[in-house]
Homo-oligomer: A and B are copies of this chain.
Amino acid sequence: MAPKTFYAVIAGVGAGTGRSVALKFAKKYPVALLARKPESYQSIVAEIEKAGGTAIGISTDVTDQKSVEAAFVQLKKEEPFAKSGLAAAVYNASGALGHRTPFLETTIETFDLALAVNPRGLYFFAQSALPLLLASVPDSPIPPTLVVTGATASNRGSARFSAFAAGKFAVRGLTQSLSREFHPQGVHVAHVIIDAVIDIPRTKAYAVNNGAPDGKLSPDAIADEYWHLHNQHRSGFTQELDLRPYVEKF
């Protein structure tokens, strides 16, 4: 019998976007949170459970194929995920890699990590998630969805952002290709260009946009967008949108 219940999986969960997205999707779905370190997801799992939701955290290194595959294998064994269909997958892993580093000082380790966390990590995640999303198409009331987090560097290669630009451009190209291949099969694949500093604990001290109120992008606003994209009818899919504070220069 086809699954009647659905869940969401979010890769790249921490103090910012990932947490807000997890809390948002947890209002409707059990959520699986993938992060490298338990301390990145433990408090969010607790927060969700306290609010009456269901969440599981799985220590996952998105740069490691086996680790990503193992996470999805675990979901097939754990209830309520095992008996449910995958409704939404969010790839939010990123990392500020090589920012403001001159190219000739950018090491191959940094460059490789930018590729590993960005296109390769998305490759691993999508290889596991897309078959599950496809399998949910017949029964899901709304189109199963893969949302991918982009950045300013997704379509602008700035000076001294060589590694990050390579990684983010690659993610954009890969996501476009996935949209064109999987939209006709009923799976919605969307790319969101986050053109902003996100308002998270780590950026509290950053003087952004002259300290204007709401001058950093609220992670809750990002989560609202991802949730909105997930709820789009197949008659009207958005492939890409940008998101930035009202005061952001662009």
Chain B nearest Cβ from A69, distance in angstroms: 11
Q: Which of B130, B221, B241 is in CB contact (< 8 Å) with A241? A: B241
* A175 interface residue (CB < 8 Å to B): yes
**A160-185 interface code vs B (CB 8 A; 1 in, 0 out):** 11100111111111111111111110
* A65 interface residue (CB < 8 Å to B): yes
List chain B residues, Cβ under 8 A from A172.
Answer: 157, 169
Given contacts A157-B172, A176-B157, contact A234 B246 (CB under 8 A): yes
* A186 interface residue (CB < 8 Å to B): yes
The complex places the Cα of A180 from the Cα of B124 at a distance, in Å, of: 32
* A103 interface residue (CB < 8 Å to B): yes
* Count of chain copies: 4
**A130-162 interface code vs B (CB 8 A; 1 in, 0 out):** 110000000000010000000001001111111
**A102-139 interface code vs B (CB 8 A; 1 in, 0 out):** 11100010011001000110011011001100000000
Chain B nearest Cβ from A152, distance in angstroms: 11
The complex places the Cα of A199 from the Cα of B131 at a distance, in Å, of: 31
B166 to A173, Cβ gap below 8 A?
yes
A123 to B104, Cβ gap below 8 A?
no
Chain B nearest Cβ from A149, distance in angstroms: 13
B235 to A221, Cβ gap below 8 A?
yes
List chain B residues, Cβ under 8 A from A176.
Answer: 156-158, 165
List chain B residues, Cβ under 8 A from A158.
Answer: 176-177, 180
A181 to B169, Cβ gap below 8 A?
no
A111 to B131, Cβ gap below 8 A?
no
Q: Which of B123, B130, B179, B196 is in CB contact (< 8 Å) with A111? A: B123
CB within 8 Å of B: which residues of A?
65, 102-104, 108, 111-112, 115, 119-120, 123-124, 126-127, 130-131, 143, 153, 156-162, 165-184, 186, 188, 196, 199, 214, 216-218, 221-222, 224-225, 228, 232-248, 250
